[in-house]
Chains A and B, each alone.
Chain A
Amino acid sequence: MEGFLSALLLQSGYNAALVGIGAALLGIAAGGTGTFIFLRKRSLVSDAAAHATLPGICLAFMAMVAFGGDGRNLTGLMIGSAASAAVALVLVDWISRETRLPEDAAIGAVLSVFFGFGIVLMTVIQTMTSGRQAGLESFLLGSTAGMLFNEAVTIAIAGAVAGLLLLLLHRRMTLVAFDPEFAATTGVDVRSTDLATMGLVLVVTVIGLKVVGLVLIVAMLIIPAVAARFWTERVDRLVAIAAVIGGVSGYTGAAASAAYPNVPTGAIIVLISFGLFAVSLAFAPVRGVVASLYRHVRFQRQVHLRQGLLAVARGEPIFDGLTLKVLRFFGHIRADGVATLSGRAAAAKALRDEARWEVARETHQEDMSVARFDGLTAIEKVFTPDEIAELDRRIGDRIGVVA
């Protein structure tokens, strides 16, 4: 625990601090980028891209060894992984456009074939005699032990590029995600926008390989976005919150990984971001589970209260257990079911408001579509005192006509 805290406070030495900052930048870039593929409903495409990096890594390693270089040169491995992921993305796109296969089938096929091919290549590499192949498997689940300064700088630069692209493209990507056909009519090239989004995914995937590993990079892209979705109804804020969640997860994950070096960094980061997701799911103010459960219970009570009061006013018997409970809770009836003074007053008001609503529904048909005429909202919240007086006058007129 002490190790974790000191890592969190950048006190665990040069390398751990480097890793922490790198992972935070990666998390920010991934959270922001992931928001747009989440909104475009193409989350799994990023998983295909991530898994498809493996053959590229292996081929790059083999090529670099064959030409007598260091097989683990990060730049070379990144270029290789980006190339094979790009091929996979083009394939997914081609299959879903040109054949009758749906996109999810295309993703499943491409992802597994590329990953399988990559595993075969890895086995071949392990039998090779030359090159220091040890450590290549760390790209599967991520490892931050021994990150070099220039590797951290690479991540920082790529993260900054991703951020700049997000800033330039955010409006266009939002438009395409919400309504691609409208976007096309207003002159946005939907295809190139989607390609740019996938390009961003590629950048994040490639720089995330070293830290999180290719198996789990999709979690860094998607979990921050879905967690952030619980907190806001605006795209700009969604991107910001997702970036913060991604950054925090990356940073704390890297710190935990420094304290417990045996656990893969990627797994820790994903678990931390999942923790933030779970908190969001449960406790977010409007969209959270607790809040919506509370609203449902409150609304149900409102309905039972109104129905109970109307029954009291009309002298009808009440059998529903919850209705009786609610009426008793508000002191409208006594334990034996007889209405109290306040209960009779409330019942009379409920009956009068019901009559007002009836008139309002007839006379304000134009507003029906824009106002809450369900009869459960307090009438004083929808109409001004003058309007209510007018409704009352009409009720009087109607009774007069009947009499």
Chain B
Amino acid sequence: MRNALQGSIGIVARNGETALAADLSNLPLLIDGLTVSYGEKPAIFSIDASFAAGRMIAIVGPNGAGKSTLIKAALGIVPRLSGTVRVFGQPIEQVRGRMAYVPQRASVDWDFPARVVDVVMMGLYRTLGFLRFAGTKERSTALACLDRVGMADFAERQIGQLSGGQQQRVFLARALAQDADLYLLDEPLAGVDAATERTIMDVLKSLKTEGRTVICVHHDLSTVERYFDDVLLINVRKIAEGPVASTFTDRNLQKTYGGRLAGAHIEQLRLPVE
């Protein structure tokens, strides 16, 4: 069940615990044997994956494959049934400040009484002082983040007045305010207009250029090769992971999507995974 990654950890571990920690501290995200279930049906089952620094990685799979569950488990907001998650070699709780999260925009009630700038300042929660009142410094940070996503003019707008694409930009700005090393985004391009898609991809590429790691749950198969360096294909179980060029193949897609993708490889679906 466990794959090559498990072996590599084994090798490192034989060299001693310190060596293991030192080796993993550069690895933004390591997932080992991760299982999450709602009720008695696993949403994801025994997934192993490692995500390298300074890359843009897509998590791809059909509806109900557990893509969102995987990143929520990586963020520690859904309970793990088994397995471990290490972020820069450490348990999640110790590295919260280095992780940023962009949830699906439909996950919140946009009629909440807040202005755009208020939502972005939520990304600064960890840096706020004792009484957590935001001052001019926080405000100017938030405005700079809004500027990066082309929403500076909207700072004072009530969030209920935003279009879908604008909501997504605001969520991205909030994540930028978190100033993290690892960005986890849940379908950031779902249902947004073309201009927003371009803006978001530009921002994500600039994060990568700065040496940060970007992991996106991604639904649009046609843009995977254009936007991402690596891909993780899952359908409850892991199907494949690696560089897009060698991993995002017809055969792996057939395995991931099963009968939902027509093609000449249906026979091969019956072959055992790995």
Contacts and interface: CB of A to CB of B under 8 A. Distances in A.
Whether chain B is bound by chain A comes out as yes
Interface of A: 39, 41, 167-168, 170-172, 174-175, 177-179, 181-188, 229, 232-235, 238, 365-370
Contact of B126 (A167, A177, A187, A367): A187
A369 B193 contact: yes
Interface string B127-170: 01001110000000000000000110110001010010110000
Most A CB within 10 A of own CB, among B75, B97, B115: B75
A171 B128 CA distance: 10
B108 A229 contact: no
B269 interface: no
Given A39-B113, A179-B108, A229-B113, 11 more contacts: A167-B131, A171-B131, A175-B122, A182-B103, A185-B101, A186-B96, A187-B125, A365-B194, A366-B198, A369-B165, A369-B193
B113 A233 contact: yes
Contacts of B75: 184-185
A181 B113 CA distance: 18
| Interface of chain A, main secondary structure | helix
13 contacts: A172-B125, A178-B109, A178-B122, A181-B103, A184-B75, A185-B75, A185-B77, A185-B99, A187-B126, A229-B113, A235-B113, A235-B114, A370-B150
A172 B132 contact: yes
Contacts, number: 92
A370 B125 contact: no
A175 B132 CA distance: 11
Contacts of B107: 179, 181
B77 A178 contact: no
**Size class of the B contact interface (CB-based, 8 Å):** 35 or more
B153 A370 contact: yes
A280 B116 CA distance: 24
B96 A368 contact: no
Contacts of A175: 122, 125
A233 B115 contact: yes
B151 A185 contact: no
B262 interface: no
B211 interface: no
Contacts of B101: 181-182, 185-186
A182 B115 contact: no
A188 B194 contact: no
A368 B125 contact: no
Nearest to B197: A369
A182 B122 contact: yes
Contacts of A365: 194-195
A181 B71 CA distance: 12
Contacts of B126: 186-187
B165 A179 contact: no
Contacts of A235: 113-114, 118
A369 B163 contact: yes
A178 B194 contact: no
A184 B76 contact: yes
B108 A178 contact: yes
B178 interface: yes
Nearest to A233: B158
A182 B125 CA distance: 11
Most B CB within 10 A of own CB, among A41, A175, A179, A235: A179
Most B CB within 10 A of own CB, among A39, A172, A186, A188: A186
B178 to A, nearest CB: 7
A187 B91 CA distance: 13
B53 interface: no
A234 B76 contact: no
Given A181-B107, A369-B165, A234 B122 contact: no
Contacts of A233: 113-115, 158, 160
Contact of B114 (A178, A183, A369): A178
Contacts of B76: 184-185
Most B CB within 10 A of own CB, among A174, A182, A183, A188: A182
B125 A178 contact: no
A179 B114 CA distance: 12
B125 to A, nearest CB: 5
